[in-house]
A and B are shown apart, each in its own frame.
Chain A
């Protein structure tokens, strides 16, 4: 009780007046004496007596009881090693990810296919659709089919038909 004050309490201590500090030290000495088995002074303030009685009751109650199984579990949790079962999934995932990245990096890049030979939106071909042409879907279907057919023929002619 009368030991050095924790660093965390520095700020609180700075707000305590010297008189309060002296009172606290006196009370701490009384509690220390009581815990050492010395009898309590005969005359003291009622508040101080209540505090000493509370300290005495806490001392008599002893340390908090804990069931043996619970105590074992707490100790195991505190000191047990990291179970291997939790490590292996991470190791496996890391190794697999590294292997996959390696394979992808070594894979030869696929030859780039010209834009007109791949499936793509028809926006560039058709352009903005005016309100007056809103229902003129037949003309757009003709245009789209002709354009894609030309691209497909190029694929077939160069032997890349699928």
Chain B
């Protein structure tokens, strides 16, 4: 039993020694992926300006497939931002269900809290509000449920924003 305890202590020491969570330096693959994301946003803008929202949607969907370096926080942030824009575009084109899928996939695959995640929750709330508005006339109960979902999403967004803001303030001090 003593031997087991000793081994555990050694392993903990080892973990402590190895716990050097160094972030990788900025790299060419990261810059290339960020440049691609930026280009797709510009492309989407041009298509929207030309009155071709479907082409803008295509551009943003291609952005979602940009291969960011694994674990790069910038990549996660850029993809969340693209999802928020794409969802709003789908909603504006009368496709609330597609917009919901785009948002939910982003929320489900992102454990790290950020302003971008809070923004996506905010868009999620907007989608629920829009859905409630369309349900008001046909199904008041469902409309109320959607409004409750919207409230939850907006509150989540506010909480995340507050936590991130607090953390950034603490880091600055």
Contacts and interface: CB of A to CB of B under 8 A. Distances in A.
Interface in B1-57: 3-4, 6-7, 10-11, 13-14, 17-18, 20, 22-28, 30-31, 34-35, 37-38, 41-42, 44-45
Interface stretch (A2-10, A17-25, A40-48, A113-121): A113-121
A74 interface: no
A142 B34 CA distance: 9
B53 to A, nearest CB: 13
Contact of B45 (A110, A113, A118, A138): A138
A145 B122 contact: no
Nearest to A105: B17
Contacts of A121: 73-74, 77, 112, 114
Interface in A146-160: 148-149, 151-152, 155, 160
B116 to A, nearest CB: 7
Contacts of B123: 134
A142 B20 CA distance: 32
Contact of A113 (B25, B38, B74, B84): B25
Interface in B138-173: 161, 164-165, 168
B25 A138 contact: no
Contacts of A129: 115-116, 118-119, 122
A155 B14 contact: no
Contacts of A151: 26
A150 to B, nearest CB: 9
Interface stretch (A29-37, A51-59, A93-101): A93-101
A78 interface: no
B78 interface: yes
Contacts of A148: 26, 30-31, 34, 74
Interface residues of B, number: 53
B25 A119 contact: yes
B71 to A, nearest CB: 8
A110 B38 contact: no
A70 interface: no
Nearest to A154: B26
A16 B164 CA distance: 71
A131 interface: yes
Contacts of B96: none
Nearest to A140: B81
A62 interface: no
Contact of B73 (A120, A135, A142, A161): A120
A1 interface: no
Leading 4 A-B pairs by shortest Cβ distance: A97-B10, A138-B41, A104-B17, A137-B81
6 contacts: A119-B25, A119-B69, A122-B116, A138-B45, A142-B38, A148-B26
Interface of B: 3-4, 6-7, 10-11, 13-14, 17-18, 20, 22-28, 30-31, 34-35, 37-38, 41-42, 44-45, 69, 72-74, 77-78, 81-82, 84-85, 88-89, 112, 114-116, 118-119, 122-123, 126, 161, 164-165, 168
